[in-house]
Amino acid sequence: MTGRRIHPLSKLFGWLVILFLAGPIVIVIGTSVSDTPFLAFPPQGFTLKWYANVFSHSGFLDTFIISMQVAVGGTLIALIAGLAAAYALTRYKMRIPGWYGSVFFLPFFIPEIVFGFSLLKTLIVQFQLPILPSLILGHAILCLPYMVRVIGASLSGFDFSIQEAAISLGMHPVKAFWTIVLPNIRSGVIAGMVLAFITSLNDMAVALFLTGPGISTLPIEVFTYVQQFFDPTVSAVSVLLMGVTILVMMLIERSLGLSKTVQ
């Protein structure tokens, strides 16, 4: 399909907007290899020492591991709860009222900073929960809407009569879900998990209130670092973080493509 013709001036403006969105990322990549102690763009010289700096700063590695643990934990809780909810909401449309589904989108509408502060007061102060489980629970909430939405979307295209046929032929409902429903919504499940994982990995607002001096997440560590030292190390960390995001995105693209060829 070819596009519609638009005025050259609006096309130019559109390209400027794309430049505005993509430019800063290019600049960050450029400054990360500049052989200057300050951020320079276009880069002067070429060096990878800022990347070496990232790995020699133990704070980045330690917090990266915590971020990974939190992202895996939060994504798994959101997956189990979200998959069950999405299944019930699409399979039993008649019995669960329609508005109930939108309850799961509440985390989208509550300002994250308000949520983070409220979690500090309840989980950390009131219930004296350690930081790691508090972070995982908080991130599970941030991830839940993505799971319900994305898995729900792929379930809505699934023909449940196949599953009913299997059950009426004597298959156990749990086994039917596992062997018939799940393979069919695989791409939705993976996409939901990836979105959840990226959301958790990038979260600032919740971690800001829950992390303490001893335990922190990578974005918080980077944020603290930027405020103290404004050097290209941050650019290098940023590029590495973007690399993780691209890697994860390519994983979905591949698995989505794969599932299409299988079907």
Quick one: which of 48, 52, 61, 110 contacts other proteins (CB under 8 A)?
Answer: 110
Interface mask toward other proteins for 24-43; x: CB under 8 A: xx-xx--x------xxxx--
Site for other proteins in 125-154 (CB under 8 A): 137-138, 140-141, 144, 148
Please say which residue, 4 or 260, places its beta carbon nearer to other proteins.
4
The conformation of residue 157, written as its DSSP 8-state character, comes to T
Distances (CA, A) of 113 to 107, 120, 135: 11, 11, 14
Least distance (Å) from other proteins to the CB of residue 30? 9
| Per-residue x/- track, 214-243, other proteins (CB under 8 A) | -----x--xx--xx--x---xx--x--xx-
Within 10 angstroms of residue 159's Cβ, the number of other Cβ atoms is 9
Nearest distance, CB of residue 82 and other proteins, angstroms: 6
Q: Which of 33, 123, 166, 196 binds other proteins (CB under 8 A)?
A: 123
CB 88 within 8 A of CB 96: yes
Closer by beta carbon to other proteins, 27 or else 215: 27
Verify binding: residue 255, other proteins, rule CB under 8 A: no
Region of 45 (left: φ > 0; alpha: ψ -120 to 50; beta: rest) is: left
Q: By the 8 A CB rule, do 218 and 230 touch? A: no
Q: Does residue number 3 form part of the binding site for other proteins (CB under 8 A)?
A: yes
Sequence-ordered list of residues with C-beta below 8 angstroms from that of 133, at least 6 positions apart, any chain: none
Sign of the alpha-carbon dihedral angle for 6, 12, 16, 19: positive
Nearer Cβ to other proteins (187/209): 209
> Is residue 182 within the footprint of other proteins (CB under 8 A)?
no
By the rule CB under 8 A, 15 interacts with other proteins: yes
| Residue 110 CB-density burial (10 A; 0-12 exposed, 13-18 middle, 19+ buried) | exposed
3-class DSSP assignment, residue 195: helix
Q: Is 180 in the site for other proteins (CB under 8 A)?
A: no
The verdict on 73 binding other proteins (CB under 8 A) reads no
